[in-house]
Amino acid sequence: MEEQEKINAAFEDLMNSLRGETTEENRQLIRVAFQFADEAHRGVKRASGEPYIMHPIAVAKIASVEIGLGTKSVVAALLHDVVEDADYTVEDIEKLFGPKIASLVDGLTKIDGVMGANTTEQAENFRKIILALADDVRVILIKIADRLHNMRTLDSLSERRQVKMAGETLYIYAPLAHRMGLHAIKSELEDLSLKYENPEEYKLLQGRIQRYRHDNADFFQRFIAPIRSRLEESGYKFEIAARTKSVYSVWLKMQRQNVTFDEIFDILAVRVIFDPKDDQPEKWQCWHIYSLITDLYTPKQERIRDWVSLPKSNGYEALHVTVMGPGGGWIEVQIRTTRMDDIDEKGLAAHWKYKKEDSDPISELDKWLINIKEMLEQTDSGALELLDDFKLNLFAKEIQVFTPKGDMKTLPKGATVLDFAYEIHTELGDTCIGAKVNHKLEPVSHVLRNGDQVEVLTSDTQTPRGEWRHFIVTSKARHHIVAAFRKERKEQVRQGMLIFEDLTRKMNLPSTQEVLDKALSHLHLGDKEELYLGLFKQQIPAEELRKALRRKSENKFMRYWKLQFFKGDKERATPVAPDDASREQEQAEIPDFIIAPDCSPIPGDDVVALKMDDGEIIVHKRKCPEAIRLMARHGDRIVPVRWVSHRIMSFLAVIRLSGIDTIGIVSEITRVISKESSVNMRSVHFDTKDGIFEGTIHLYVHNTADLNNLMMRITSLSGVEQVARVENMDV
């Protein structure tokens, strides 16, 4: 009885949070949906032990309150797991709740099936689902709400499932939330992913950000006091709030720019949200407030961002300016109306609420949905390639460029002349030989900048080229270029495979994956198609391949590295929630593994392992970008792993140093290294310029503890300003 009271209380909380304009008829429809779902999930528990119906109720509340969706979406959220987990069909849902709600539930059921399965075997199904998403974007929004609640309640799952869901969320769902304009949800999904992938770093950064906010509270009040006075004098109704960067965004900036927490200067920002006056345009009022603020504080010209005149493609509107605050620190100020703030928080749903259908032109977000549908209807690529195409369309940073006639095109940051040509028309891209960018002749690979005006140049004799794929960034360009080469390449690969099989037959070798992997490894090739094409084009001589196949394979790490693996959790065969898993883990020593060369983990690094098709286990650093991508795609292959011991063997690591070029500084650094019995140098390189030195040292170390100890000793030397380990570097 207590359990049912808890369920009823959660549902009443949902009902109280519905939009004010929800009619009594719609409220009754939601009650019927709840009663139906409650009965369907009766007796089923989540991994946490709570009744499963609590999950659909929570998803419905997120959809209503945090995204701002209406009655049909709330009903679909309540019913989203009924077809998958109970003895009901989509037809049953349609009879009770109508075709639109049934269509939403069907889309949600199908996408659950694909994201939980082996994606490589689900190409056609995955394509159909995303096409359905483009038809009704509410499926995307409800699915994001579903993923958000699952991430909020991830503690009760096994480590393997946690890592799998975190990687998948970071790879697909956080960018998807960004594209839908759900800034708050996107940030929370990123933070939760980091929390489960790198728990120690997450906890450390979260504490530092909280302390930073507390320590700067007085500074914030001193900064906003004169702004508040000016806005009140001008008759604005407003609120001013402090915004700190999310834990994930701080972590990502530290990783990408190789900087410390103390070197990040935009952790704190000020947000001015105001109610616009009826007699003046919103854009004018934003610039008026900008003028009031810059009368008080000096602006940094290169840090002005005008997304009021040109909103982002996900609907984001605001005016950003960075000013010099009291005490000599730069502070970012974000100026927006209450409407703009609502769109930033609730994204697409709020955008539609404010959109006037008869007067507003098609938005960039609408264009994105149309492009997604066109791309998926035309493509014949596999599921993994399709997933990458879809991911490319979730680009975060954008630029606006213009045609000779002044038409604006939105492209991802880093887009080239060729991307622009394909954005206008496929034929223009296929025949592009260059462009005039701001009246200056540039090649097809030229990277465009915000505000460029581009005139594409073509030739009737031009056709797509293979090297084009190395510098295009949009999925539209990639799709058309790949399509142009796929047929020709397929035949070349087939011929190359026949050459390979003929050669191995003459060498009396079996046609197995092991033989193929040996050839790829010794020839330093990425995949079998590269090998087959090299053989067909005679870029790989037959004798070179014979030598590679005769070499003895040896994994030099196997004798010295010792890892503890956990066998995968066995799923329960009882009708419990989809994410429930056994908590029992069985430990086993597995000696056959490979260290990923792209991130080269050493003992002490936080690592994760993935079991590949041939049975080999690849060990990556947990934060390696390639590992994150693989975990999102192949969550069922994750093997949680940790170091348990290592023997006396050294592993290569690289550190980068900088500081003041004083006399004897290099000798001091090398002397400190030489004194460390557990560390040896392979190579040392230093450059000096204008009294500043920069150096790179390749070292052999036993583990991360030895490396960190050495870096601390070097940092303590007078003149040394910064010492950092170089991550993901081919050494």
| Start-to-end C-alpha separation, the chain | 64
Q: What is the DSSP letter of 65?
A: I
Q: In angstroms, rounded to a whole number, what is the distance separating the alpha carbons of residues 121 and 723? A: 46
Report H helices in 579-653. 625-633
Place of tokens 């302390």: 211
Contact assessment for residue 161 and residue 581, using Cβ atoms and an 8 Å cutoff: yes
Question: What are 240's two structure tokens?
Answer: 């001013």
Closest CA to 172 of 219, 213, 211, 114: 114
Q: In angstroms, rounded to a whole number, what is the distance separating the alpha carbons of residues 449 and 437? A: 10
Active site residue 218: no
> Largest Cα–Cα distance in the chain?
90
- The one catalytic residue among 81, 85, 112, 342: 85
Place of tokens 């035309």: 378
Q: Compute CA distances 45 → 12, 61, 155, 229, 580, whole Å.
A: 21, 20, 15, 55, 9
Q: What share of the chain is helix, strand, coil (3-state, %, to 5)?
A: 50, 20, 30
- Integer-rounded Cα Rg, in Å, for the chain is 29
Residue 39 CB coordination number (10 Å):
11
Closest CA to 400 of 480, 309, 283: 309
236-240 LR contacts (CB < 8 Å, sep 24+): 236/274, 236/275, 236/277, 236/285, 236/289, 237/274, 237/275, 238/272, 238/273, 238/274, 238/275, 239/272, 239/273, 239/274, 240/270, 240/271, 240/272, 240/273
Closest CA to 140 of 349, 339, 313, 387: 349
Q: In angstroms, rounded to a whole number, what is the distance separating the alpha carbons of residues 381 and 391? A: 14
Closest CA to 268 of 240, 302, 235, 244: 244
Q: Compute CA distances 525 → 230, 385, 467, 617, 693, whole Å.
A: 64, 20, 17, 19, 37
379-385 LR contacts (CB < 8 Å, sep 24+): 379/127, 379/479, 379/483, 380/483, 380/486, 381/123, 381/479, 381/482, 382/120, 382/123, 383/119, 383/120, 383/121, 383/122, 383/123, 383/126, 383/127, 384/119, 384/120, 384/633, 385/482
- The one catalytic residue among 84, 345, 616, 636: 84
Place of tokens 């960034």: 473
Q: How many Cα atoms occupy the beta-carbon half-sphere of 662 within 13 Å? A: 10
Contact assessment for residue 641 and residue 564, using Cβ atoms and an 8 Å cutoff: yes
Question: What are 67's two structure tokens?
Answer: 């995204």
Question: What are 112's two structure tokens?
Answer: 């659950």
Active site residue 84: yes
Q: Which residues, in sequence order, are CB contacts of 530 under 8 Å at separation 6+?
A: 520
- Where in the sequence numbering do the catalytic residues fall? 84-85
